[in-house]
Amino acid sequence: MKFHLTVCLLLASQAVAFSSSPSFVGNGRASASSKTHLDGAVQDGDTPDTLPDFKDVDDYLQYMSTVSAMPKGFATGTASGTFISTEAPGLGKLPIKGTVIHLTEGPTDNWAAVFTSNRFPGAPVKVGRKRLANGNPLQALVINNKVSNVCSGGDGEADAELVCQSVADALGLDSADSVLPSSTGVIGWKLPAKELAADVVPQAIQNLQSESVLDAAKAIMTTDRFPKVRSRTLSNGARVVGIAKGAGMIEPNMATMLAYILTDATVPKADLQRLLRAAVDESFNAMSVDGDESTSDTAVLVASNQISEDVDMAEFESALFDICKGLAADIVRNGEGTSHVMRVAITNFPGEMKQARYLGRHIVNSPLFKCAVAGNDPNTGRLAGAIGSYMGKFYPEGDVSTMSLTLGGRTIFENGKFVLDGAEDELSAHMKLAEYGDSIDYPPHQKFVEIGVDFGSAGGTTDITVLGSDLTGEYVVVNADYRS
């Protein structure tokens, strides 16, 4: 039973390798700017590939406020309410939050979406698939936390539609079909649709503003430890801004998060769908916190078309990929109980990208290896064991004869043997340097436990980077008492 993640990439008409070295400005902090020009120029108000270090939560939130300016043509509003679960009334009144994203200049046909492949999808996912298949224009999105509206005892789709209708009524839209719903929270509970429709949605719409996405990034959180924002500005002035939520039940297949990427560029629908699928594959599909795929994952890409100047599609693609990869890294870093983020770089894999991605997930999902990382224990045998297990079970024809492994940049395995003499202290120190605490409510740094898996000359040409978290006691604490 988890809060889930839904990715909604909202392009108001107008992401990189997971992380690279930060650019520094005079105060020693990594620049808060990183323009998506292919020449690498930076611009104030944008996030770099690697975020700076932060001393406390106030420092982090102040920084987030400087990179959260809204693109043209969007407004967001949030509100809180309460409900009593019919499934667990003994818990009393529970809090619930609603968020509305409104395309203020009218509906757009330029939107795309990717949904979870879980065979028990939530009712909002079913509604969203219908909206996409029918070619409905989009003018608003509505998101609630706390209850995911998945396989509930009532009519989940009707409940989702009731909330959409309340948005349409309050905004004066022609049809609720132009509203896309998303829900995240406990699986199996009925959505408190009446409370959302009568109380939360009207207040969220009264609170609509066009200045910053930060409040929305906070409102969509569930067990998240901090809000997540990534942003870029294109050379034609169009802005691309993304927010995301997700901390547990993170094992993507198409998408795994609540995320919204807003831009005011003008990009055709077909291009949005193509780029969204590609960006999701290289970001949200290449991470894992706990190996459990959510029932509510949704990725939506929407363009408000407020910047009419031509878009450099290579630049736009780079920005989208940078934002998706940045948000994916943020999601893993704020995972439930996470105290280390593993970054597994797989090179020269002898098979296809999908197989390489699954190998990376197999490594970061190994309970034994995750626990070793949590304890700063360089138990390299567990790493090799996870790789050997995957190759033996799922890709036995793959040649591992020239494979080498690195941890923290140091070679630990080559020519079929470990190379560990004198390595223990160095490897443990690398892990300790990447540690940041399993319950801290801001990201103090952007360091990784760096793992390299190179199949060498006997391998192939497939390269991919996969992110994952360690496994701590705090993860068990969070998930042993999740619903309350």
> What is the C-alpha to C-alpha distance for residues 78 and 219, in angstroms, rounded to an integer?
7
Question: Helix %, strand %, coil % for the chain, to 5?
Answer: 35, 25, 45
Active site residue 256: yes
266: which 2 tokens? Answer: 């003008």
CA atoms within 13 A on the CB side of 271: 16
The answer to whether the CB of 241 falls within 8 A of the CB of 68 is yes
What are 407's strand-pairing partners? 410, 451
Pairing of strands 228-233, 93-103: unpaired
b/e sequence 14-36, b meaning 16+ C-beta within 10 Å: bbbebbeebbeeeeeebbbbbbb
The answer to whether the CB of 301 falls within 8 A of the CB of 344 is no
Three-class SS state of 318: helix
Strand residues in 186-297 grouped as ranges (E) = 228-233, 239-245, 258-263, 287-288
245: which 2 tokens? Answer: 């939520």
The answer to whether the CB of 350 falls within 8 A of the CB of 455 is yes
Active-site position among 50, 256, 338, 347? 256
∠ CA 5-11-15, nearest 5°, is: 65
Provide CB contacts within 8 A for 158, sequence distance 6+. Answer: 193
In one letter, which amino acid is 231? Answer: S
> What is the C-alpha to C-alpha distance for residues 309 and 329, in angstroms, rounded to an integer?
31
> What is the C-alpha to C-alpha distance for residues 87 and 109, in angstroms, rounded to an integer?
39
Torsion sign, CA atoms 414, 416, 421, 422 = positive
Phi, psi of 310 (to 5 degrees): -55, 145
Residues assigned a catalytic role: 256
